[in-house]
């Protein structure tokens, strides 16, 4: 029987997502990834080269997923509050993604995965914001990159800093995910309008 390389790689990527989300790139163990995938750990080295390269492959795969799931077109940029809400929904459904980004920021600042491609992706988002600013749908008082950064950070903070939300906004936290999402959307709309 022929070895299904594509399937094996996907099993390893899926297992690695959880391992890296839980332990970060430094604390993750290839043996645990292999055990979760039900694959010999030598396949990780064969297909990816090592743990660092596997982490990069996981991030690249997850970044492609969120880019496809939560696009920001020029028309959608006119309502960054809605965009923030859609990203919030994505993070609720895929809590590992924001954890992976947090680990990358904490442990890999000088070796960011696919930095050029990601910068190009963000440049497209910034261009959409520029168009929305020109159309008068968003404030022109704040640089477009700063607006995108603020939206991304405000959204991610619900998942990376829940303790602050609990202390600063207990009523919003008690309102549950729907109330949190609405508070985020409303805040972003006020900030960019």
Place of tokens 């090592």: 50
- Distance between CA atoms of 108 and 53, rounded to whole angstroms? 12
Q: What percent of the chain shows pLDDT beyond 90?
A: 92
Domains and CATH numbers, the chain: 1-58 (1.10.10.60), 70-192 (1.10.357.10)
pLDDT over 70 (residue 11): yes
- Distance between CA atoms of 54 and 58, rounded to whole angstroms? 6
pLDDT in tens, 107-148: 887 788 889 999 999 999 999 999 999 999 999 999 999 999
**What local confidence, expressed as pLDDT, does residue 1 receive?**
43
Does pTM top 0.75 for this prediction? yes
pLDDT in tens, 22-40: 999 999 999 999 999 999 9
Pick from 189, 170, 163: nearest CA to 85: 189
pLDDT over 80 (residue 167): yes
- Distance between CA atoms of 15 and 8, rounded to whole angstroms? 11
Please give the average per-residue pLDDT across 72-99, as a whole number.
Answer: 97
**What local confidence, expressed as pLDDT, does residue 3 receive?**
67
Buried b (16+ CB within 10 A) or exposed e, 106-117: eebeeeebeeee
pLDDT in tens, 43-67: 999 999 999 999 999 999 999 999 9
Structure tokens at 99: 């954890």
């Amino acid at each position: 029987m022929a070895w299904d390389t594509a399937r094996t790689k996907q099993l390893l990527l899926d297992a690695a997502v959880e391992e890296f989300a839980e332990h970060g790139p430094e604390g993750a163990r290839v043996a645990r990834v292999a055990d979760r995938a039900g694959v010999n750990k030598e396949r990780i080295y064969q297909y990816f080269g090592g743990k660092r390269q596997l982490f990069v492959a996981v991030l690249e795969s997850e970044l492609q997923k969120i880019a496809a799931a939560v696009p920001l077109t020029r028309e959608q940029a006119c309502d960054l509050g809605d965009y923030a809400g859609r990203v919030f929904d994505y993070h609720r459904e895929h809590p590992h993604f924001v954890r992976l980004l947090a680990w990358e920021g904490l442990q890999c600042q000088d070796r960011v995965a696919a930095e050029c491609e990601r910068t190009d992706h963000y440049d497209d988002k910034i261009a959409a914001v520029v168009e929305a600013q020109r159309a008068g749908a968003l404030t022109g008082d704040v640089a477009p990159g700063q607006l995108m950064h603020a939206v991304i950070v405000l959204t991610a903070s619900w998942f990376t800093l829940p303790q602050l939300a609990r202390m600063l906004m207990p009523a919003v936290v008690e309102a549950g995910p729907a109330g949190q999402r609405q508070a985020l959307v409303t805040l972003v709309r006020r900030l960019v309008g």
